[in-house]
Amino acid sequence: MTHDPARPFGRLITAMVTPFATDGSLDADGAAALATHLVDEQRHDALVISGTGGESPTTTDAEKETLVRVVAEAVGDRARVIAGVGTNNTAHTIELARSAEKAGAHGLLVVTPYYNKPPQAGLVRHFTAVADATGLPVLLYDIPHRSGVPIATETLVRLAEHPNIVGVKDAKGDIAASSDVLRRTDLAYYSGEDAAILPLLSVGAVGVVGTSTHFIGARTKEMIEAYERGDVAGALALHRQLLPLFTGIFRTQGTILVKAGLRALGLPAGPVRSPLVDATEAELNQLRQDAQAAGVDL
């Protein structure tokens, strides 16, 4: 795998769902198979394992370690494996980070501590402590509508000085703020919202950590590559074509619909764990309509 510092994890990343068996236990073989499908069939450069999309709130630390290990064994020679290790407890996040490094992860995704609403000084301390804990490159995950706290521009600029903090999964929805950080740092920005990839590329982002990309990864990568080639009209045409699924995957919680779609395709997924609930027949039918509008048959 060639390594481009401007794109530390490539262009196309998906926050992979975690397959479970019908009894709700971890399906490690299914995880390896799904990862292989995403890398070999959907042209992924990297996968996030145990992000929120991977139901990290309801998987155990041991399951998280197993997932990193089996996915790294399956695709680690041709894609980067990024472990979601963010929690709202710095000490626990450090434990998860060290465990992921031992299990073979190539990078870490660290979300803003949620619910306990730390001030910016607390965010600096948290992210710095986690980045210090391993030798792995870190993507910060800025998603204030879930975490309750945005990572302020000045905080991002300060954190960018850390040699292990290399990028941001940006779901803030504030293109001016993102643009300002891009102007002032060399952080690699990945859109954390599928529908915002193209606008963020226009201000200097390099790719996506996606959800709908379980199904439209290859075409999303085409869109990014078209934009990079200077084919803005081609990129815009693809954005418009894929938009029904970029947005449709979030009609309810994204993991619910991704798993429903994967089950419809006969790919490893299984049920979701409580407090999530599996998609209804009506939700699956709507997903099929959204996918078809984007050129995908489920």
Give the residue numbers marked as catalytic: 141, 169
Q: Is the dihedral of CA 87, 251, 11, 162 positive or negative?
A: negative
Helix (H, G, I), strand (E, B) or coil at 8: coil
- How far is it, in rounded angstroms, from Cα 68 to Cα 28? 10
117 in Cβ contact with 148 (< 8 Å):
yes
Closest among 54, 23, 19, 20 to 37, alpha carbons compared: 19
Query: Which residues are within 8 A (CB) of 36 and not within 5 positions of it... i.e. 6 or more apart?
Result: 74, 75
Is residue 2 exposed (0-12), middle (13-18) or buried (19+ Cβ within 10 Å)?
exposed
**Element at 273 (helix H, strand E):** none
Strand partners, 188: 167
Q: Helices (DSSP H) in 46-89: which residue ranges?
A: 61-75
Longest dimension (CA), the chain: 49
**Which residue's structure tokens are 């402590």?**
129
205 in Cβ contact with 178 (< 8 Å):
yes
